[in-house]
Amino acid sequence: SLELLDISRNSFGAKGMTLLTESILHGNHLPHLHVLIVHSCRLKTRGMRALGLLIKQLKELRVLSVGSKTKESLSPKIGRAHV
């Protein structure tokens, strides 16, 4: 079973994150996912809402890393997901 998923640098945006979230949730995929890395995906507000719905349902998620490459942040911030 997949424990780490890195979907970084996929500029699918809010629409892509919404579709991914629906697919994962409706198919009960990734029940044992521990680490989710989402960098530089251009999610914006709607995409972050979809990501929020996803992480609420991923009961075993321990690490969520979200970030983008900007002048202020050349390395991603990693934090714990509190569900």
- Is 74's pLDDT higher than 90? no
Q: What is the pLDDT of residue 72?
A: 47
Which tens digits make up the pLDDT trace of 1-51?
Answer: 899 999 999 988 999 999 999 999 998 889 999 999 999 999 999 999 999
pLDDT digits (tens, 9 = 90+) for 57-70: 999 999 999 987 65
51 vs 83: which has the higher pLDDT: 51
pLDDT at 79 over 60: no
User: Do residues 63 and 35 make contact, with C-beta atoms less than 8 angstroms apart?
Assistant: yes
